[in-house]
Amino acid sequence: MIDLDISFFIQLANFIITLLVLNLLMFRPIREIIRKRSQLMSDQLSDVENFTASADLKVKDYEAALDGTRREGMEIRNDFKEQGAKEEQALLSGAGKVAATTMKDARAEVASEKGAALKVLDGEIEAFAQKVTAKVLG
């Protein structure tokens, strides 16, 4: 069995004094350092989260601006295509009119030359007929 004599109380007092001294010299400063480190980590974590949120927002704004610029560029390109198509149509229409006028003039010229040739040949038909008849009859 355990005897509770004066040495037990001396050992108990020694343990309590050692515990108090260790608490003052070691445990309390370590707990303070751990608390400061924890506070620093949470502050840095909130700074990192704020920075990340800010960076995400800036990236989203950049992408939105980039998409807007791309759409604007596409609209400008489509406008230029439409203008080019209209100018092409106008040029082709003008060239078609010029070609039609040239063809009409050429046909009229050919028709007038044909008429002149027929008049000349009409006048010479009688002479050709007599020559053919003379050759055939001998």
pLDDT at position 1, please? 61
Q: Could you count the other beta carbons within 10 Å of the beta carbon of residue 126? A: 9
> What confidence score (pLDDT) does residue 26 get?
92
Residue 68 has pLDDT above 90, yes or no: yes
**Owner of token pair 């006028």:** 101
Provide, rounded to the nearest whole percent, the portion of the chain with pLDDT above 70. 99
For the segment 105-131, what is each residue's pLDDT rounded down to a tens digit? Answer: 999 999 999 888 888 888 888 888 888
Q: According to the 3-state scheme, what is the secondary structure of the chain?
A: CCCCCHHHHHHHHHHHHHHHHHHHHHHHHHHHHHHHHHHHHHHHHHHHHHHHHHHHHHHHHHHHHHHHHHHHHHHHHHHHHHHHHHHHHHHHHHHHHHHHHHHHHHHHHHHHHHHHHHHHHHHHHHHHHHHHHHHHHC
State the number of CA atoms in the 13 A half-sphere of 4 facing the CB. Answer: 2
Q: Does the predicted model carry a pTM greater than 0.75?
A: no
| pLDDT digit string, tens, across residues 22-57 | 999 999 999 999 999 999 999 999 999 999 999 999
Mean pLDDT over the full length of the chain:
91
